[in-house]
Amino acid sequence: MNTILVEGISVYAYHGCLEEEGRIGCNYLVDVTMETDFSEAAKSDDLNQTIDYVTVYNIVRAQMTIRSKLIEHAGQRIVDELKATLKGLQKLSVKVTKLNPPMNGNVEKVSIVIEWKM
């Protein structure tokens, strides 16, 4: 088994329980870790034998544009869409990080991680 990481996908989105979060938005980072067998791609140099990083990026961007109250919900949508779209996926981890969340305190970021295994 091999691992592909697409890390630090930076998006500006409008998730959150507070009404102003839906208007103002904030910065998010999404990290995707995928286990698959890309040994044929490594031999053949053929993109069709592995997972296309651009597809992963586009799925994350599209799902993050859909407003959710919870980053848990946004993360689950990303997982579901990646599972439905990517061939050969054996294991998946999606981390969604909200930077500078509006809290009554100095908090740099909050994150959730959703893992799936075939």
Question: In degrees rounded to 5, what are phi and psi of residue 19?
Answer: -60, -40
Q: Which domain holds residue 70?
A: 2-117
Task: For residue 98, indicate whether it is catalytic.
Answer: yes
Nearest to 5 by CA among 42, 38, 32: 32
Quickly tell me which residue has 């579901």 as its tokens. 80
CA 118 – CA 44 distance, rounded (Å): 26
pLDDT in tens, the chain (118 residues): 999 999 999 999 999 998 888 899 999 999 999 999 999 999 999 999 999 999 999 999 999 999 999 999 999 999 999 999 999 999 999 999 999 998 888 999 999 999 999 8
Q: Please tell me which residue in 69, 98, 109, 117 is annotated as part of the active site.
A: 98
CATH label of the domain that carries residue 109: 3.30.1130.10
For 67, phi then psi, to 5°, come to: -65, 135
What pLDDT, on the 0 to 100 scale, is given for residue 21? 87
The pLDDT of residue 20 is 85
Number of folded domains in the chain? Answer: 1
Instruction: Give this prediction's pTM.
Output: 0.95
